[in-house]
Amino acid sequence: MEIPSKYEPKRVEGHWYAYWTAHGYFSSKPDEREPYTIVIPPPNVTGVLHMGHMLNNTIQDVLIRRARLLGKNACWVPGMDHASIATEAKVVAKLKDEGINKANLSREEFLKHAWDWTNEYGGVILQQLKKLGCSCDWDRTKFTMDDDMSASVIKVFVDLYNKGLVYRGYRMVNWDPEAKTTLSDEEVIYEERQGNLYYLAYAIQGSDEKVTIATTRPETILGDTAICINPNDERYRHLRGKKAIVPICGRVIPIIEDDYVDVEFGTGCLKVTPAHDENDKNLGDKHNLEVIDIFNEDASLNSFGLHYEGKDRFVVRKEIAKELEEKGHLVKVEQHMNKVGTSERTKAVIEPRLSDQWFLKMEELAKPALEGVLETNDIKLYPSKFDNTYRHWMENIRDWNISRQLWWGQQIPAYYYGDGQDDFVVAETPEEALKLAQEKTSDFGLQASDLTQDPDVLDTWFSSWLWPISVFGGILEPDNKEVNYYYPTNDLVTGPDIIFFWVARMIMSGYHYRGKRPFENVYFTGLVRDKQRRKMSKQLGNSPDALKLIEDFGADGVRVGLLLSSAAGNDLLFDEALCQQGSNFANKIWNAFRLVRGWEVADIPQPEAAKVGIDWYRAKFDQTLVEIEDHFSKYRISDALMAIYKLVWDDFCSWLLEIVKPDYQKPIDTKTFDAVIHLFEENLKLLHPFMPFLTEEVWQHIAERTPEEALIVSKWPKPGKVDTSLINGFDFAAEVISGIRTIRKEKNIPQKDALELFMMNAEGVDNQMDAIVQKLGNLSKLETINSSLDGALTFRVKSNEYFIPISGAIDVEAEIAKITEELNYTKGFLKSVQGKLSNERFVNNAPEQVVAIERKKAADAEAKIETLEKSLASLK
């Protein structure tokens, strides 16, 4: 195969991805090998590839490709989440554009539109992941609305209901007025917002007295059904048993007493609105208060809103404040910082709302999940700082509201046959429901048409919490071959923002339904931020187009760029320059390969420098491999990449290839060439998980390979015994070579001009490195001497002094002038530093660190003066 002059990512990536897919390398079936399993965090079916996905899936692909090289049966299950709220919103918007109102459609008609939209637009992200090089088993792709996945969800709901863990309750819930559905507590994001505290005067019935109450939500006074005072508050003791009149609506409400009231907050008087505040609802239950809901489902006011009916709550807030002021009920307004709950999905301000909903009891499910992470260490979180986050949530867990007022999702399998609170049955199918209803009512004349299924659907997370089990059919067939082989999975790679939504709940379902952890390790990635540490978002316009990055820098360049800027659990400060660095690295490897393949090979003796250089690189490779294994064991993926990067760029390209490179227009010996090619192949194996396309391309250029010999299914290297003496010897020799190169650079001595090098002291010198020093330093002579050499340039490495005779190599007079000038400057510098140090006020008053820095400056200057004086003496 002809080697192109440049690495061409676009051509290479399409070619090798098609090759890998055609030969089934990503495919996994249970066999005798050890399984290594990852389930993808299913992206929303509405999603397109963004930087977070790129980072997360690059890490997963690195882990899965390495497992494949380790000889494991690597299985990476891809899939998508049906994302109830997001998808329904997209479909509703599309219908609106077509002039269709969802309210005018039947459920079946709407779901047809939803499936049409999903089939047309959904799944784009999975195709984009292929561009990144993700080696998922695409034949296993699952969707949370697949028939078998939905059947698993329904089966679990029925099972948990029969166990008494799922129940229906009339409770205060988080209502998203934009999506028009309830949300779980975890889907509510609290934000600090600047608002107002309105002080309102309520008249006391039968007197001229008024009582002032502070509220952040004046529009809700129309739902007030009591005023509450603290029984220990002397200021309001005289109001016991009296009644107050709500401004504007004129409703007469009781004044009740409860020590719940904080006497320090506001005026110490509390308006009680049981329909619109959870704490008020608790007070209402305790004191048998009327509940008046003033809002429609879109948070506009209903008929209880009087003349504000139909207007949005925030519009009413401004208008009612003005009316209260005009009517003399508004005492004052103060600015007030308020914690406001917002919808994680739509960003709408959440409205507390009373509603019949379905809940899952969490306390019993949480216990084994808490123990598995924090007591038995059955599951490990990386980084471990997330242990405390996990503990806090699990120890304060609340029942999970699992019903949503949507149509897209798994419809709750509860069937109603009457108007009573308990007139329903729960069953997997309508047929089973009818049978249960007949038995429950003893009415065997009951027909299927007499049953009405609950219109709500289950929370999307109620399907994805089963993901590691359901993708292998483990709910419907708990003892099937696949789930028994692949479950528990090995690693989960995800973001810390869904530790509660998803990770903790999967752990709960895993222990409950399989009696085993769903995965062994959880690797939390950081958030991708821009250089200014801002979170990437469409609104800020700071999120790069992921596919354009791949087009500009190649998939391997982007993968390397992302990982070079990422550390486990820490936010990633993304800079396109890092992708350029990744692209440069790919070009460096490509050019190194072209260099090696361009050498003529001959059956000639192996030079000593090449032999020693190869032995050194093998030792360095083994040492780095041990370091890489340690990084992988601790999920320090970026550190593993950096270790490989330095090994290949510095040790292989910059050192080894220079050591073995034949002289101009001369051949290289066969033994060295074969060894270099072998080491190149070993490098490619380490690089492959990070840079799959480039490495496969080079691998296939090195030799003709059968499909069984492709790099993707080769063997990960095993470390040999690390020869540290070789590594230390080379490190010392590299400093000597660097000293020679510095003198050549400073004195403008061309590399082609051979030099002589004399060494005094010779401590810690590994003589087997002499051949390398001679070659890379272009030395005609390398000898040890017992005393200083006059008329020579010098440099030091550790305690050894090296001399390079300068006869004819440089202009002596010019060198003397240059050194004299530098010597005079350094003496002047030393004098100024010593002046500072002789000033007692400075030494006594300056910080200790500052004084220490000045003393070091003086010591460095003295050492430099000594070296310059020696150099000057040797030239005269």
Alpha-carbon gap, residue 871 to 801, rounded angstroms: 12
Other beta carbons within 10 angstroms of residue 234's beta carbon come to 8
Alpha-carbon gap, residue 818 to 871, rounded angstroms: 11
**CA-based nearest residue to 747, from 818, 693, 799:** 818
Alpha-carbon gap, residue 710 to 68, rounded angstroms: 12
Please list the alpha-helical segments (H only) found in 254-312: 278-287
Average pLDDT, stretch 403-420? 92
pLDDT of 185 over the 90 cut: no
Average pLDDT, stretch 707-726? 95
571 pLDDT tier (thresholds 50, 70, 90): confident
Starting from the edge strand earliest in sequence, which strands make up the sheet with 755-760, in order? 779-785, 755-760, 800-805, 792-797
CB 34 within 8 A of CB 74: no
What's the confidence (pLDDT) of residue 545? 86
pLDDT of 810 over the 80 cut: no
693 pLDDT tier (thresholds 50, 70, 90): very high
Q: Give the pLDDT confidence of 321-373 residue by residue, as tens digits.
A: 999 999 999 999 998 888 899 988 788 999 999 888 999 999 999 999 999 99
Crossing angle, helix 670-687 and helix 692-702, to 10 degrees?
160
**CA-based nearest residue to 757, from 739, 745, 730:** 739
Alpha-carbon gap, residue 556 to 58, rounded angstroms: 10
Alpha-carbon gap, residue 773 to 768, rounded angstroms: 10
382 pLDDT tier (thresholds 50, 70, 90): very high
Q: Give the pLDDT confidence of 192-226 residue by residue, as tens digits.
A: 898 999 999 999 998 989 999 999 999 999 999 99
**CA-based nearest residue to 133, from 725, 557, 643, 660:** 557
Task: Give the CA-trace dihedral at 816, 822, 826, 829, to 10 degrees.
Answer: 140
pLDDT of 129 over the 90 cut: yes
808 pLDDT tier (thresholds 50, 70, 90): low
Alpha-carbon gap, residue 177 to 182, rounded angstroms: 9
Phi, psi of 299 (to 5 degrees): 70, 20
pTM: 0.83
Average pLDDT, stretch 705-711? 96
Alpha-carbon gap, residue 437 to 25, rounded angstroms: 52
pLDDT of 621 over the 70 cut: yes
What's the confidence (pLDDT) of residue 748? 81
Q: Average model confidence (pLDDT) for the chain?
A: 92
Alpha-carbon gap, residue 393 to 523, rounded angstroms: 18
- Contacts of residue 271, defined as CB under 8 A and 6 or more positions apart, other chains included, come to 200, 202, 213, 215, 220, 221, 224, 226, 227, 228
What's the confidence (pLDDT) of residue 876? 67
Average pLDDT, stretch 96-125? 91
- Contacts of residue 467, defined as CB under 8 A and 6 or more positions apart, other chains included, come to 39, 42, 79, 144, 506
pLDDT of 2 over the 80 cut: no
pLDDT of 130 over the 80 cut: yes
Q: Is 1 exposed, middle or buried (0-12, 13-18, 19+ CB in 10 A)?
A: exposed
Longest Cα separation, the chain: 122
pLDDT of 565 over the 90 cut: no
End-to-end CA distance of the chain: 61
pLDDT of 1 over the 60 cut: yes
pLDDT of 569 over the 60 cut: no
Max avg pLDDT among 138-142, 227-231, 851-855: 138-142
Max avg pLDDT among 107-121, 575-589, 666-680, 840-854: 666-680
Asked if omega into 383 is within 30° of 0 (cis), the reply is yes
What's the confidence (pLDDT) of residue 226? 94
pLDDT of 536 over the 80 cut: no
The HSE-up count of residue 224 (CA atoms within 13 Å, CB side) is 30
CB 668 within 8 A of CB 601: yes
187 pLDDT tier (thresholds 50, 70, 90): confident
**CA-based nearest residue to 460, from 43, 37, 39, 40:** 43
pLDDT of 672 over the 60 cut: yes
Q: Is 262 exposed, middle or buried (0-12, 13-18, 19+ CB in 10 A)?
A: exposed
**CA-based nearest residue to 658, from 601, 729, 734, 715:** 734
Complete DSSP assignment for 567-589: BTTBPEE--HHHHHHHHHHHHHH
Alpha-carbon gap, residue 695 to 681, rounded angstroms: 9
Average pLDDT, stretch 710-717? 97
Average pLDDT, stretch 47-64? 91
More confident residue, 545 or 131: 131
**CA-based nearest residue to 517, from 449, 480, 469:** 469
What's the confidence (pLDDT) of residue 546? 86
More confident residue, 563 or 570: 563
pLDDT above 70: percentage of residues in the chain: 98
What's the confidence (pLDDT) of residue 566? 62
Tokens of 284: 């209402």
pLDDT above 90: percentage of residues in the chain: 71
**CA-based nearest residue to 455, from 399, 401, 408, 400:** 408
Complete DSSP assignment for 557-572: HHHHHHHHT-BTTBPE
Alpha-carbon gap, residue 188 to 349, rounded angstroms: 9
**CA-based nearest residue to 50, from 740, 691, 574:** 574
Tokens of 411: 């419809």
